[in-house]
Amino acid sequence: QHFGGKMSFKELLVAERNVTKRIAELQGEGVSLASIRERGTKEAEKPEDKK
C-alpha cells in the first residue's frame, strides 16, 4: 500500500501508529533501528509478502 493523495488525515494517523507499534515490537525482539531501516528500504525496492 503506497501513500497517494487519496488518504485522509485519519488514515495517515492510523498508518503511522501501526508503523510505530511495529517498530516497537521489533525493538522488543532486539532488532536495531538501523536494521529496521535497512529492511524497510529493501522491501520498498522489491515488494514481497512480509513474512
> In the predicted model, is pLDDT for residue 39 greater than 80?
no
- Per-residue confidence at 42, pLDDT binned at 50, 70, 90? confident
Inter-residue contact 34 to 41 (CB < 8 Å): no
State residue 18's pLDDT score. 92
- Average pLDDT in the chain: 75
* pTM of structure: 0.40
Q: Is the dihedral of CA 11, 13, 16, 18 positive or negative?
A: negative
Inter-residue contact 14 to 22 (CB < 8 Å): no
